Amino acid sequence: GALLALSKPPGLPILGRPGDLSLDALLPALRRRLGLTADLHVVKAPAREYSGLVLLSSCYHTTKKLQQFFTSARQRGQYPATYRAITVGVPAEVEGEICTGLCWQQQGDRAMVVPVPAPGRRSLARKDVKITLTRYQVLSAVGGSALLQLQPRTAFPEQLQVHLTLLLCPALGDHEHSSHVGRVLGVPFFLTPETAPTRTQVLDKELLSQLGLSPRQLHHLPLYIHLQELVLP
């Protein structure tokens, strides 16, 4: 019918400035190639850094109906979106939930998302902080890495990356938040964003060898978080 699904590579933004490469800029060419008469709209798509399922619609009414469904499903306690992630480190528990406040915080000349474990009532009322929740399950673990299923109950920028660092298992290719997980004698612990500046993710020699990468190539490593499945009404 009106729906079209495709798979997005990591690094492709949904929206961009005029002249920049983005999913939105590609939609007219895609419509012409498929011979569609109506314009395509983005119903649901993963963030720029993520890969995975993009849901498009050629009917404005269908687009709005589905977007409202995703919002109301989360409010009802359901999990309409399922992600997969490869992590550096294996969670202590095979399944569970991560629940924390998140907010934007200025760090030098840039803003980043940081956890707020015990937000005050005023910050919640002002919506400076949002309570976020993600359900996770370990699907597989080999050596020091794991394949996780992630189901966010809430929607906040970079929520999955921050929640994985709170599990002390940052996503592979996360050059934004992985520096917040430190190690002493092999034991991981959480570092506050103020004490751990952002840097290219550091991997051990064994994992680098398995990936076929040199330390100099690490900054090219994409983020291994993938939108795997969407539930439709």
11 — alpha (psi -120 to 50), left (phi > 0) or beta?
left
> Domains plus CATH for the chain?
3-78 (3.30.70), 82-230 (no CATH)
Start-to-end CA distance of the chain, whole Å, equals 14
Tens digit of each residue's pLDDT (9 = 90 or more) over 89-140: 999 999 999 999 999 988 777 888 999 988 888 888 888 899 999 999 999 9
Provide the 10 A C-beta neighbour count for residue 193: 18
pTM: 0.92
CA distances from 102 to 114, 116, 147, 162, 225 (A): 6, 5, 24, 9, 19
Specify the pairing of strand 51-57 against strand 225-230.
parallel
- What would the two tokens of residue 149 be? 């299923």
pLDDT (mean) for 187-204: 85
Q: pLDDT class for 146, splitting at 50, 70, 90? A: very high
What pLDDT score does 59 carry?
94
**What is the residue-wise DSSP string for 179-203?**
GGEEEETTEEEE--TTTS---PPP-
Residue holding tokens 């079209």? Answer: 4
CA–CA dist 106, 113 (Å, integer): 9
Highest mean pLDDT among 79-88, 107-116, 176-185, 207-216: 79-88
E-strand ranges in 69-173 read 81-88, 95-107, 110-116, 130-142, 145-152
